[in-house]
Amino acid sequence: MVFSSTLFLLYFLPAFLVVYVLFGKFRELKNWWILLASIAFYAWGAPFFVYILLGSTIIDYFIVQRLHKAKNQKRKRLFLVFSIGMNLGLLAYFKYANFFVDNFNELLYAIGFEQIGWTQVALPIGISFYTFQTLTYSIDVYRGTNKPLKHIHHYLLYIMSFPQMIAGPIVRFNLIADQITERKETIDDKLFGFFRFCIGLAKKVLVANVLGLQATEIMALPADQLTFLTSWVGILAYTFQIYFDFSGYSDMAIGLGKMMGFTFPENFNNPYNSRSITEFWRRWHITLGQWMKDYLYIPLGGNKVNSKFKLFFNLWLVFLISGLWHGASWNFVIWGAFHGSFLILDRLFLKTLLEKIGTVPSVAFTFLVVVIGWVFFSIEDLNGAWTYLGHMFYFNGWELVELSRETVAVLVLSVIISFVCLTKFGRYLQNVIYNEANVHLLRQVTYLLIAGVLFTFSLSSITGEGFNPFIYFRF
């Protein structure tokens, strides 16, 4: 089940909210209801894996309890290894087993040996987000950042809460531990949460889906039908599709959480306004970047290593892993290495140079780098990605596939929304829209009107169009 579906919008969400509100001030009943609804939400799309998910989460809970009670550091470290090993083992098997076996078979074929038989493993939706959240729990308890949760259903709620389970943001344990048992809920929060949810829904349905359809059609064209202009339109459509899709789902998750009294971390902050790739990764998928920094980059030595070579290698390694986290394919590894290389260049000279040439040129250059990177992210076939990239930089005429008026209008709108915050007026407008403080009657009415319009148009689009992809299936 996904948020942008009639099943969720017309049946699951209304039924969930009605029962949730009826529980009034009984927070524990509400927690149980969120947990049961989350299990049903996930089981709808993955009825087999939900049992593995529940079983491994329960086992992990007791491992971390033992970790916390262990009397010496050696035993604590042993239980931490058990927890990390189990969770990474699940991720490795379900997400990467096919990738490694396929590559091993190619190697065997190349050297003349018989390939091994293998039954393809189905990829459970959201396995990467699940793994990262379980890791934050065990590592934070090991570090003493937080004590473990006292009740197993609280831990299951943290891991399986349906708003952020399959598409993020990655909610670290230390940010939400107290909210499970002590959160406050207000009418203003519920209203703003619904408003934020509808903004995200509109981003996904009214913008990302329209651009995604065009991008899919162009990228499916035979190589001999691709032209310079067509290839650029296709990748630009994908560039804005992926942003409005990703950020839209984050908005929906944050909004749903707010309606239940939870405050989830922001995950996007106008990433295409970045003046360097370093800045881009402070604005794009913020919770992933922070996770990689705190749980991988800093343990590797961070900025305190004693040589530039080791510093640059660690940066590159972290982004190789980040690329592989996004998908089990060499394309994602190349995408991660591509961004890691520009982060190294930023450290060497590029960031200083970009700061000197002014805002517009530096934003334009950074945006170009990001767009080129999206080629490897969007096209799963590695040879196809290189071919597509070649058409982008080989001028062979101004021929362009026919674009509908809707596609052109949405593409122009996406450009305006993506870059408007480079202006003072844009930043003011964003602050007005997303500011939760000073909510008075006029703003409440305005929120309701805007949310109602966006919800109606989005629902109409979902029921009228057949194209509604879920691009997180690889994660």
pLDDT in tens, 349-389: 999 999 999 999 999 999 999 999 999 999 988 888 999 99
pLDDT in tens, 105-114: 788 778 877 7
Task: Determine whether 326 is an active site residue.
Answer: yes
Amino acid sitting at position 175 = L
Residue 338's pLDDT is 93
**What is d(CA 134, CA 81) in angstroms, rounded to the nearest whole number?**
13
Q: Is it the case that residue 93 has pLDDT exceeding 60? A: yes
The 10 Å CB-count burial string (b at 16+, else e) for 425-437 is ebeeeeeeeeeee
8 A C-beta contact, residue 63 and residue 83: yes
**What is d(CA 53, CA 38) in angstroms, rounded to the nearest whole number?**
12
pTM, full prediction: 0.91
Scan for tokens 């259903």, then name that residue: 153
Residue 118's contacts (CB-CB under 8 Å, 6 or more residues apart) are 98, 101, 105
Scan for tokens 């209203």, then name that residue: 191
Residue 82 CA from chain centroid, whole number = 27
Tell me what percent of the residues of the chain surpass a pLDDT of 70.
97
> Which one is catalytic: 154, 285, 326, 391?
326
Domain locations along the chain:
6-182, 189-275+358-474
Q: Is it the case that residue 100 has pLDDT exceeding 90? A: no
Instruction: Show the tokens assigned to 143.
Output: 């570090």
Residue 436's pLDDT is 74
**What is d(CA 51, CA 53) in angstroms, rounded to the nearest whole number?**
5
- Closest by Cα among 91, 89, 92 to 100: 92
Q: How confident is the model at residue 409 (pLDDT cuts 50, 70, 90)?
A: very high
Q: Is it the case that residue 472 has pLDDT exceeding 90? A: no
**What is d(CA 2, CA 174) in angstroms, rounded to the nearest whole number?**
27
8 A C-beta contact, residue 195 and residue 451: yes
Q: If you average pLDDT over every residue of the chain, what do you get? A: 89
Scan for tokens 């490897």, then name that residue: 376
